[in-house]
Chains A and B, each alone.
Chain A
Amino acid sequence: MSEQDHIANDLQVLARQIDLTIPADCVAGVAANTQLLRGYVNLICGMTLPDTCPPAYEYRP
């Protein structure tokens, strides 16, 4: 199985979890964007934050 096939397979697994069908014509584009986002996810997940730093769901100056 090629790398592209692996990525496409991963996408379909993720998509099934939210009941989304990725049309065949969209797989390449979604894969490219997923790769881009993975880079950003790795960047933020590489940051160690204190347990006392909660998520910021709204802005309270």
Chain B
Amino acid sequence: MSISSLAQSIQSGRVSAFQHCAETLQRLKERDGAYNSVTRILESRALDAARKVDARIAKGESVGPLAGVPFGVKDLFDLEGHVTTAGSVVLNDTPPARRDAEVVQRLCAAGAIPVASLNMDEFAYGFATENAHYGTTRNPHDTQRLAGGSSGGSAAAVAANLLPFTLGSDTNGSIRVPASLCGVWGLRPTQGLLPLAGVYPFASSLDVIGPFAQNVADIRSVSEVLIGHSLAYEEDTSQLSVGILDGWFAQDLSEGLKVGIRAIESACLHTKTVTLPEVARARAASFVITAAEGGNLHLGRLKTTPMAYDPATRDRLMAGALLPSAAVIQAQRVRNWFRDIMHQTFKKVDILVAPATVGPAPRLDQPTIMVGGKAVSARANLGLFTQPLSLAGMPVLSAPLAPQNTDNSALPLGVQFIAAPGKESILLAFAEMLERKGLLGFPPVTAGN
């Protein structure tokens, strides 16, 4: 059932918000043990909120477009009364949040109900959701594989059909990578479009938050509430000019991704190949900015309590804190240059298409990917195709390719659709067109499969 159908069923009284919420909580308790996507269940808050939704409906009130719909948030969104952990134990002694993050408030005002916080890499610094404090989140499509990260809990909870939608954050690909590996949809909106108030930062000049869901209609429903206006696109999507990114974005791809991207190209009337210049440097700039901003953010605690961090996170943050200013300023200049290139590119095309990762989820016991013929760390390199695009700040939709064989046993693969700033409506309309053609969408894991 889509999110809008669920909300309509609850608003009309056919489904009780309380009953649905109680069933969702029970499902989380019964099934999440296999995935470790949840860090905290908000049982009393969720049930209280659901009772209030039912009471308002009984009085004839319109609750909102997300009436009674449960959702989860990555563990870096403030939830009133709870300490925001950001996937660490380092913040355990900080005061509980006095209010929900602004985007959580927007969802609640539309009737949605937060039911859980979700696992992540410590301080969002990784692409794996291997967390020394809260454990590794497992991929619902194969629990011997990574879910990806850093918003791995948010992606896995949707892929396992535990929650209809979740929120995550994306600095270098932390929505798009796990969405791709878990076979769900994830939107990184335009830089600066959504407020970050009450969201624990990682590298604040790159941080963006966005939703995960099982289909593009659900991404639309949630995004319209988050952004606050309709994302309808009235033009003919068949007339969109589509650029297929090659060069950097065509390296090391699995056969399934090549086939999927060719199928997308064939489904579009107006396509061309686009080669972006200096992508390796764009990725390097993103790396440097992230390391420097993250290292600076944590410098005070790295001086006093370094051993409280996950060792892998701590060593990366310390190295970032030591970067010279000349390197960081150069990275920000490269960023400006690359943005101009992207702006120029969108004068020639409406949409760019790129893979989200090089292939399917790596195994837990072999957390590497092949890049340039070498096995490299998945935790550090799964963002090969997402990091350069983060630098530019454009909206990016991560979409799961449809399974390419009939038994649905293949692992998920994801692609990125990129549009000009503020053009989320084009991304959604384009994806809906391809979803209708059967090229996009991966079935979630349910209790029976």
Contact = CB atoms under 8 A, between A and B. Distances in A.
A18 B285 CA distance: 22
Contacts, number: 113
B393 A61 contact: yes
B327 A23 contact: no
A20 B302 contact: yes
Given A23-B307, A29-B315, A41-B288, A11 B333 contact: no
A44 B334 contact: yes
B431 interface: no
A45 B337 CA distance: 13
B217 interface: no
B122 to A, nearest CB: 14
B393 A19 contact: no
B327 A41 contact: yes
A33 B336 contact: no
A15 B322 contact: yes
A49 interface: yes
A61 B321 contact: no
A8 interface: no
Contacts of B64: none
A45 B192 contact: no
B339 interface: yes
Contact of A33 (B192, B316, B324, B327): B316
B51 interface: no
Contact of A43 (B191, B284, B329, B420): B284
A54 B318 contact: no
Contact of A56 (B278, B319, B332): B332
A10 to B, nearest CB: 9
B129 to A, nearest CB: 20
Interface of B: 190-192, 205, 278, 280-281, 284-285, 287-288, 291, 299, 302-303, 306-307, 311-312, 314-316, 318-324, 326-327, 329-337, 339, 343, 380, 393, 420-422
Given A30-B319, A44-B334, 20 more contacts: A15-B318, A20-B299, A20-B302, A20-B303, A20-B318, A22-B318, A26-B315, A29-B312, A40-B285, A41-B288, A45-B326, A45-B327, A49-B334, A53-B337, A55-B329, A55-B332, A55-B333, A55-B335, A61-B190, A61-B422
